[in-house]
Amino acid sequence: MSAPRFRRISSIVVACVVIVLALVSVIQCAPAAPAQPTQAPAAPTAAPAQPTALPPTTAPEPTAEKATLRVWWWGETEAPGLEKWLQESGDLYKKDHPNVDFEFNLLSGEAMYPSFLAAAGAGNPPDLQVLWGGVLGLEQAWNGNIRPISDFWTEDELKHIYCATRAEGAWDGKQWLIPLYMDAWLMTYNKDVFTKSGLDPENPPQTWPEFVAALEKIKAAGFTPFAFGIKDGYFGAWWPSLLGTHKYDTITDLHKAVIGEEKLTDDKHAYWWGLWKELLDKKLTNDDANSITLAEAGDMFLQGNVGVVMQVQPVITNYARQMGKDKVGVMVPPKAGDGKLGFLLPVPGVDLASPTKAAHPKEAADFLRFLNTPERINAQYKQSGAISPNDQLDPAVVTLPTDQLIVKWVKERPGPTYNWNYPGDFETALYEIGQALVSGSLTAEQAAQRYEEAAQKWRQNNPQAVENFKKWVANPLVCE
């Protein structure tokens, strides 16, 4: 089962968190303890008022003093076994560092950002904090809540991370985010359903017209062609994350629409609404999409009567382990445009960061380095199915055919992640607009217009956030 990943919080909620923390600091004489995970929306939607570039950090000298590293993380729902791997990694690390202990705190996706913001505001953050990549993680660099990992890691160490993934955690010439694991976005399909529908399970469709024709055959054979759930909103952002960049030559094309140089109603930014509407109009999807969640659509796939779903790599791996490796196939999203970013594989990371006010930054960075050793990244895959975006992964340990293909594609055709490249307010808007499109209350053109209006509102309400965003996109990490 695929658990819901995250929901962002509004700028108003972020402001309320700041106000509450300020009041607490007045009432109390000592900093508050870090907040416990709560069921709350997941991520701030606007960058803070002023970007703060942290000065170079002088790494503290190694110490034999006792240190308890607090690691706040997420990922067990996507990659079952990750918790055991992380605990084992801590135990192994302690053998050579007996002065170090660990406290691992598994967060829910909804609690990830509220818990961190509360702890950072109280001056008592964890030593390593899980964050989403791209804008959502880097906003915490802009407001001074995290320090650069590159203050502790060398460039030679950083180069082991695949550049497309690394680029979404780089800003101002420094590396702020290190992947805990890769969360590649793909389509997965049931090979038995393909065969029974007269399709070749070893040669899935590669273009949008071929994809639609395949779904029509699956429908004619009596199966659900394509399943998704949008009751929780998330699929509204998943769809463009797989199909929204196919008329772009670089991700800068999206950035231009974010900052208002282009409009999200322009064809190259809006065509994917029409693709989605085409599937709905031709009844090539489940008819209860507005009544089920993203996770429940994944459960439908496991039942064996669905042709295709969208998913992330660790979840697909667990599908293959549950259904059988011969029953599950993977495909890069079908090419739906003539841009250079078409038919590429988005390769975001679920990342770890070093909070600015953490008690043990040097030790935390060293433990993070340990997690990225060949032995640990190989063990991560074996125990959880999660693939590290690291060139030290031994291809021999990757035994599932689906994962072998994914590793090959990550090297040959990695691409940027659409929803790692816009502010959180955009995604919140996509949740609601997507639901309206599916319900039939909006046309594709009206959906694109509503999306553009949400972008205009964000720019009007967050002028400094626009400047922060411009600074990020003006100096990207260039992948050769």
| pLDDT value, residue 473 | 85
| pLDDT value, residue 52 | 39
pLDDT at 69 over 90: yes
Q: What is the 3-state secondary structure (H, E, C) of 39-102?
A: CCCCECCCCCCCCCCCCCCCCCCCCCCCEEEEEEECCCCCCCCHHHHHHHHHHHHHHHCCCEEE
Q: Which residues lie across from 355 on neighbouring strands?
A: 146
**Model confidence band, residue 1 (pLDDT cutoffs 50, 70, 90):** very low
CB 45 within 8 Å of CB 424 = yes
329-373 confidence digits (pLDDT tens)? 999 999 999 999 999 999 999 999 999 999 999 999 999 999 999
Of 235, 194, 233, 228, whose CA–CA distance to 211 is shortest? Answer: 194
| pLDDT value, residue 24 | 35
Q: Which domains does the chain have, with CATH numbers?
A: 62-183+348-409 (3.40.190.10), 185-346 (3.40.190.10)
Residue 279, burial from CB neighbour count under 10 angstroms (0-12, 13-18, 19+): middle
Mean per-residue pLDDT, 243-264: 96
Q: Mean pLDDT lowest for which of 57-61, 200-204, 301-305, 309-313?
A: 57-61
CA distances from 412 to 46, 162, 407, 408 (A): 34, 11, 9, 6
pLDDT at 234 over 80: yes
Mean per-residue pLDDT, 256-273: 97
Task: Give the whole-angstrom CA distance, residue 235 versus residue 244.
Answer: 13
pLDDT at 310 over 50: yes
Q: Which long-range contacts (CB under 8 A, 24 or more apart) does 150-156 make?
A: 150/174, 150/175, 150/176, 151/56, 151/57, 151/59, 151/365, 152/57, 152/59, 152/354, 152/361, 152/362, 152/365, 152/366, 152/369, 153/178, 153/365, 153/369
Q: Mean pLDDT lowest for which of 47-51, 173-177, 201-205?
A: 47-51
Question: Is the alpha carbon torsion for 419, 422, 424, 430 positive or negative?
Answer: negative
Mean pLDDT of the residues in the chain: 88
What's the chain's length in residues? 480
**Model confidence band, residue 7 (pLDDT cutoffs 50, 70, 90):** very low
CA 248 to chain centre: 20
Most confident of 4-13, 25-34, 337-346: 337-346
What type of residue is 348? P
